[in-house]
Chain A
Amino acid sequence: MNNTVLVTCGATVSFPRLVETVLDRSVTEKLKVLGYGRIVIQYGRGFSDTFLQLVEKHLGLFTEKKSCGIKVLDKIENLKVISVDGIEICGFEFSHDIEKLIANNIDLVISHAGTGSILDSLRVGKKLIVVVNDTLMDNHQQLIADKFEQQKLLWSVHANTEELLRALDRSENEELLKIDNTYNKQFEKLLYNVAID
């Protein structure tokens, strides 16, 4: 029960269905079975009250704590630390230190399919499940998630419990590939040649 999972909705738009899917009792039970004793949720600006209501709706009455013992998290303004049903849930709106958090304190990331969040996880080599927000119009999330999944860099699902539970099983039994190093000598040469031209 020592593992920590991060759920991240991105900074721009909130993704209530993702939060709600993760807080579904079937998913929290599964996470416990897989050894995750702590769920960290970044839910986006202005979502704190809804978040607390969702926790109560799905998991029952909870007690709030002052801190969770992870330095990066405890620094965050308006952090909610909740103890409920044998699991600890830390919720917050937004943080500039999310890269640091992922690198040092997280074992599995469940993320919305924005490129920034995908890269934050892949660059530090964490297991990643991506949840596509199909309610967004004219948006490239599905295409991007498919591309990365084809390359075996992540597991892509939609915001429902069945798909997420299946992906959690896969995250235990399958290995992902590592993303190529970003440093590309040819690209650096191109920049150099253009600059001195």
Chain B
Amino acid sequence: MLLTTAWCLLIWSVTLLLVRICLVIPIFHSSREAGPLTKDKDNVGGRMKNLVLFIFLGSGGHTGEMLRLIEHYQGMLLESAVTIHVGYSDDDSIIKFKNKIHQISVSNTLRAKVIYHRFDKARDVGSSLAGSIKSIIKTAIRSMVLTYRIKSSMRGHPNLTLLNGPGTCCIITFWLKLYHIFLWQPSKIVYVESLARTNRLSLTGMILYPLADEFVVQWADLLPIYPKAKYYGVLV
């Protein structure tokens, strides 16, 4: 009798968990249409208040593309932001970010509070398998704490997580989605695939394709292979 009850409970919780996962993970439901919007939403930029923005500067070309994105969409991303969380893994990216913000603030008033979070690199290019696994686990634990802090400050605000690669973005997404499933705190992730990817996705891109709320590519050739992706030309 006790065993049967235990089994029933287990099956019930597994079912509930699966339903919950299906509700949260974007690949399991139909995608949002970028088409016509309601009148209210049509007025983009300036209208939205108190956005909490989280961007990750992935070093090198990834940082370059992210800085171009926030520059080109500064009205939407920076001016309406109350808090900007900046994740990074190398000091060079922070210097570049500060330069860019300085440049933008000459012509625009930015009132957002900027908070920096140092993430370890998920994996160095060319490192051994054992070395990779060790560093991935270390990164995962540290980023669990960091993403929790970031997530907590998003509560009750419009919020957006903008990612462009590389590997650390997978770990960030993993934790954000896990918090979403178990803590009922929705995260909204937009992944923009690197411009360098013309005919196939990066490994990070492939992992995040089912997980990101919106997945954007910068070359039209990728659309037939990845139908959930969206394409708006070169954005960076």
Across the interface, B196 reaches (CB within 8 A) one of A140, A182, A189, namely A140
Q: Within 8 Å of chain A (Cβ to Cβ): is B160?
A: yes
Across the interface, B219 reaches (CB within 8 A) one of A147, A180, A184, namely A147
Chain B nearest CB: distance from A136 CB in Å?
12
Which residues of A160-197 are within 8 A (CB) of B? Answer: 179-180, 182-197
Chain A, residue nearest B73 (CB): A188
Selecting from A33-41, A70-78, A83-91, A113-121, the interface stretch reads A113-121
A195 contacts B48, C-beta separation under 8 Å? yes
**A147→B214 CA distance, assembly (Å):** 25
Which residues of A139-169 are within 8 A (CB) of B? Answer: 140, 143-144, 147
17 A-B pairs besides A188-B75, A189-B41 with CB distance below 8 A are A115-B64, A115-B65, A116-B65, A140-B196, A182-B68, A184-B233, A186-B232, A187-B232, A189-B44, A190-B214, A191-B73, A191-B162, A192-B45, A194-B32, A194-B188, A195-B158, A197-B32
Chain A residues near B34: list those with CB within 8 A.
Answer: 186, 189-190, 193
Interface size on B, residues (CB 8 A): 44
Chain B, residue nearest A11 (CB): B60
Chain B nearest CB: distance from A15 CB in Å?
16
Q: Within 8 Å of chain A (Cβ to Cβ): is B95?
A: yes
**A11→B92 CA distance, assembly (Å):** 11
Chain B residues near A193: list those with CB within 8 A.
Answer: 32, 34, 37, 41
A residues within 8 Å of B by Cβ?
Answer: 11-12, 96, 114-116, 119, 140, 143-144, 147, 179-180, 182-197
Subset of 15 A-B contacts with CB under 8 Å:
A12-B60, A116-B61, A116-B64, A143-B199, A147-B198, A183-B72, A188-B75, A189-B34, A191-B76, A191-B77, A191-B162, A192-B41, A192-B44, A197-B32, A197-B186
Chain B residues near A140: list those with CB within 8 A.
Answer: 196-198
**A48→B199 CA distance, assembly (Å):** 37
The majority secondary structure among interface residues of chain A is: helix
**A179→B213 CA distance, assembly (Å):** 29
**A187→B216 CA distance, assembly (Å):** 9
Chain A nearest CB: distance from B50 CB in Å?
10
Q: Within 8 Å of chain A (Cβ to Cβ): is B6?
A: no
**A116→B61 CA distance, assembly (Å):** 6
Chain A residues near B96: list those with CB within 8 A.
Answer: 96
Chain A nearest CB: distance from B85 CB in Å?
14
Chain A nearest CB: distance from B111 CB in Å?
17
Chain A nearest CB: distance from B70 CB in Å?
11
**A119→B235 CA distance, assembly (Å):** 11
**A187→B214 CA distance, assembly (Å):** 11
**A185→B41 CA distance, assembly (Å):** 13
**A190→B41 CA distance, assembly (Å):** 11
A96 contacts B236, C-beta separation under 8 Å? no
Chain A nearest CB: distance from B151 CB in Å?
15
A96 contacts B95, C-beta separation under 8 Å? yes
A-B pairs with lowest CB-CB distance, top 5: A187-B232, A195-B160, A116-B64, A184-B232, A195-B158
Chain B nearest CB: distance from A179 CB in Å?
7
Chain B nearest CB: distance from A76 CB in Å?
15
Chain B residues near A179: list those with CB within 8 A.
Answer: 234
**A158→B188 CA distance, assembly (Å):** 43
B195 contacts A144, C-beta separation under 8 Å? yes
Chain A, residue nearest B157 (CB): A195
Q: Within 8 Å of chain A (Cβ to Cβ): is B123?
A: no
B73 contacts A187, C-beta separation under 8 Å? yes
